[in-house]
Amino acid sequence: MPTLKETTREIADATGRPWADWVELLHQADATNLHHNELPSLAQTLMPAQTADPGIWASRIASAFELDAARRRPGRAIDGTFQGFVSAVLDSDLDASLQRWQDLMRRQESFNSRRMISTPVVSSSRRWRYWSADFSDATETQVDIGLRGRKLTIAVNITKAQSMDAVSEWKNFWRQILTQFADQDAL
C-alpha cells in the first residue's frame, strides 16, 4: 500500500495540480463537512480538464484527503472496518493449487483461534480461482489464485476486521498458511 506522500505525489503528477492546491480547493468547497461518498464527486468537479481517467483520480483524491485530514486511517474501509492482504508467488498449476488450498483449509481445525461460520465459496474464471469464507469474529477472507505470466500468485484478502490489530493477527496467521502451502508445493 503506497504511503500518503507517494499517493499525493501521484495525484499531483496525474492532475497537474500540487497536493497543497487540492487541499485548499477541497477546504474552500467545504469538503470536511461532506460524507465520504460525496468526496469523489466534488473532486471530479474540481478536476482539471486534461486529466486522464478523472473518475479514478477523483476517488484517490477523496481517500487521500480523508487520510490527510485524519478522517480515515490506512487500512480502514468506508464502513469503519479494517482490511489488509498477504500474498505469495509460486511455480504451480491453477486448478491443482485451488484443490490443494481447499484440502489445506479442510484440515484446519481453527483459523487464527476463530472458527469458520460458513461453507467456503469456490468460483473460477479463465485466469483466476477464488475461495472465500466468513469467520466467527465477523472477518471475511477471499483468496485469489491467479497466473501472472508463468508464476502463480496467491493473494489472501482480509476484510471486515474490527481493528488494525485484528488485521495484523490475521495477516500473521495467513502468512503461516501460505508458508505451509508453499512447502507443500515444493514437495
Residue 163 maps to a domain: yes
User: Residue 166 contacts by C-beta under 8 Å, 6 or more apart in sequence?
Assistant: 82, 137, 139
The count of residues in the chain is 187
- Asked, for residue 107, whether it belongs to a domain, the answer is yes
pLDDT (mean) for 28-44: 87
87 and 62 fall within a common domain: no
186 confidence band (pLDDT: 50, 70, 90): low
Whether residue 144 is found in the same domain as residue 115:
yes
Query: Percent of the chain having pLDDT more than 70?
Result: 91
**Residue 24 within any structural domain of the chain:** yes
19 lies in some domain: yes
Residues 182 and 156 in one domain: yes
Shared domain for 96 and 19, answered yes or no, is no
Q: Can you give the pLDDT at residue 71?
A: 60
Same domain, 91 and 131: yes
Asked if residue 178 and residue 92 are part of one domain, the reply reads yes
Tell me the C-alpha to C-alpha distance, in Å, between residue 148 and each of 1, 91, 137: 19, 10, 32
Residues 96 and 47 in one domain: no
**Domain assignment of residue 175, yes or no:** yes
Phi, psi of 122 (to 5 degrees): -120, 135
Query: What is the total count of domains within the chain?
Result: 2
* Helix (DSSP H) and strand (DSSP E) numbers for the chain: 6, 5
pLDDT (tens digit per residue) in 140-174: 999 999 988 888 999 999 999 988 899 899 999 99
Say whether both 115 and 160 belong to one domain: yes
pLDDT of residue 47: 93
Alpha-helix runs per DSSP H in the chain = 4-15, 19-28, 39-45, 54-68, 94-107, 164-186
Q: CATH number of the domain that 89 lies in?
A: 3.30.530.20
Indicate the Cα dihedral angle 166, 139, 174, 165, nearest 10°: -10
**Who contacts 63 (Cβ-Cβ below 8 Å, separation ≥6)?**
7, 72
Q: Which of these three, 68, 102, 124, is where a domain ends? A: 68
- 93 and 170 assigned to the same domain: yes
The residue behind cell 477546504 is: 27
Based on the fold, state whether residues 53 and 145 are members of the same structural domain: no
Residue numbers of the domain that contains 45: 4-68
Is residue 77 in a domain?
A: no
pLDDT at residue number 33: 84
Tell me whether residue 102 is in a domain: yes
Find all residues with CB under 8 Å of 54, minimum gap 6, and list them: 44, 47
Beta strand pairing call for 121-124 and 151-161:
unpaired
pLDDT of residue 145: 95
Q: Is residue 8 part of a domain?
A: yes
Range in 32-41, 53-62, 128-137, 162-171 with the lowest mean pLDDT = 32-41
